[in-house]
Amino acid sequence: MIKHHDIYNDGQWTPSHGTTTSPVINPATDETIAEVVNGTAGDVDLAVASARAAFPAWSQTPPDKRAAFMGAIAEKLVERQEELAAVVTSEMGSPLSFARAAQIPLPINSFAKAAQIGATYEYESDFNGSLVVREPYGVVGAITPWNYPLHQIALKVAFAMAGGNTVVLKPSEMTPLIALKLTEIIHEVGLPAGVFNLVPGTGPEVGEAIAGHPGVDLVTFTGSTRAGRRVAEVAAATVKKVALELGGKSPNVILPGTDLTQAIPAALGAAFINSGQTCTALTRLIVPAEQAAEVEQIAKTAVAAFAVGDPTAETTVLGPLSSRRQQQRVLGYIEKGIAEGARLVAGGPEPVEGVEGSYVRPTIFADVTPEMTIFREEIFGPVLAISTYSSEEEAETLANDTDYGLAGGVWAGDEERARQFAKRIRAGQVSVNEGSFNLDAPFGGYKQSGIGREAGLYGFEEFLEVKSIQQPQAKA
């Protein structure tokens, strides 16, 4: 079993002031595979001081040289991707096939794209005689979740550092092992001391210390809306920029005339991706009332093919949820759906046969109305809620009847019709007829799904301040 008691500070592993640890538990076996120290506010002070000391030199390092470090990290991730995929699977249960296909390739893309953008970006431009300069904020505090533990780190760390910022990272205490592996790689490529710093620990201790620290110039957080509110509240005391990528309860609208044999199996995949533990999962399926019975039959048949089990098995589609706590949370929502009158089409609260661990059966509800809890609250598990509509206007109302606005989907036989409907969904990204996910398009939400954008050029610019330098005008 791994026992880790250090923070990464000023380019080296340093003993933490913390005296307690958090267990890292394999959710497929309930085995404790590691114990990682819970850092302290004092550890955050050290890390922020190192980041501030490193900032002047790093911010003045030529952009192409900063980019070269990001590219080198991407190359090391590629070299070790099989090992890294296994780590993600062991600490949060993502099927190994999905870890290989997404959990590791996505962060590789982030570091590579940050390198590309950072090396070619125009940091200065003319605007009607003024010189507009984009420059790094300073110290970025990054607080990341457990569901895509390396990808969410990369979206913040890669683009922040490429833009000239220094970083203090707190990964989820549930999935710190992949962050430790990334830190090993960062150390190996020789990133200057203090540019990247890691403090493992809990949200109330380390997360709040980062968010409220006067030496942190920008805090970027991904997690629940509840926790995001707390980050914003703590950060407000020092009036720093806050970027938030929060929860979702995203709609997937099936318009009349859609080929249901294509759309419904795809809709299940969009709802159950990463065992439903995806903020952009399309967990509300909104269908024409006259086609509800056909939708349910196709969905019931298709979900039977979703193999649930050992995440290391090549055939597994749905692994365990990330923890027993998450399992009980999701089962509670399933019980509430039944109690509030939703009709089970597939799945339910019964245990998955033949396995131990934090498993939940992929579950589909029909007859779900806006008053029900499973329509309104983010479940973060393999639970799909089907609602019906009688007119396109009602479909739009149902789609937007949510406090969230992270993602959405639209299906139609006429692609242009779907595209026009997509523009009416109040969300940060909407897919049309299962349009491919663009790794470099702006990623973020409307309403209580967050503030700011990540990924690609928009994600890079999120970490840059804008300065106007007013210059003397030439005399006539």
Q: Which SS3 state, helix, strand or coil, does residue 4 take?
A: strand
Question: For residue 120, with 0-12 CB atoms within 10 Å meaning exposed, 13-18 middle and 19 or more buried, which class applies?
Answer: exposed
**By the 8 A CB rule, do 101 and 273 touch?**
no
Question: For residue 474, with 0-12 CB atoms within 10 Å meaning exposed, 13-18 middle and 19 or more buried, which class applies?
Answer: exposed
**Active-site residue (options: 208, 279, 378, 396):** 279
At residue 89, what are phi and psi to the nearest 5 degrees?
-60, -40
Q: Pick left, alpha or beta for residue 163 (phi over 0 → left; psi -120 to 50 → alpha; otherwise beta).
A: alpha
CA atoms within 13 A on the CB side of 448: 19
245 is catalytic: yes
Determine which helix (DSSP H) or strand (DSSP E) holds 198, and give its type and residue range.
strand 196-198
Determine which helix (DSSP H) or strand (DSSP E) holds 254, and give its type and residue range.
strand 251-254
Question: For residue 33, with 0-12 CB atoms within 10 Å meaning exposed, 13-18 middle and 19 or more buried, which class applies?
Answer: middle
CA atoms within 13 A on the CB side of 332: 10
Q: How many CB atoms lie within 10 A of CB 249?
A: 25
Q: What is the DSSP letter of 410?
A: E
Q: Pick left, alpha or beta for residue 146 (phi over 0 → left; psi -120 to 50 → alpha; otherwise beta).
A: alpha
Rg (CA), the chain: 23
Question: What amino acid is encoded at 463 in this protein?
Answer: F
Can you say how many angstroms the Cα of residue 217 is from the centroid of all Cα atoms in its chain? Answer: 22
**Active-site residue (options: 91, 208, 245, 454):** 245
Name, in order, each residue with C-beta under 8 angstroms of 243's C-beta and a sequence gap of 6 or more: 218, 219, 220, 221, 450, 451, 452, 454, 462
Cα separation of 379 and 361, whole Å? Answer: 14
Q: How far is CA 278 from CA 61, 137, 339, 382, in A?
A: 36, 29, 25, 10
Bridge partners of 169? 142, 198
Q: Which SS3 state, helix, strand or coil, does residue 415 take?
A: helix
Name, in order, each residue with C-beta under 8 angstroms of 364's C-beta and a sequence gap of 6 or more: 268, 296, 299, 300, 303, 344, 345, 346, 347, 383, 384, 386
Q: What is the DSSP letter of 433?
A: S
Bridge partners of 23? 35
Strands 31-37, 21-26: pairing kind: antiparallel
The residues assigned a catalytic role are 245, 279
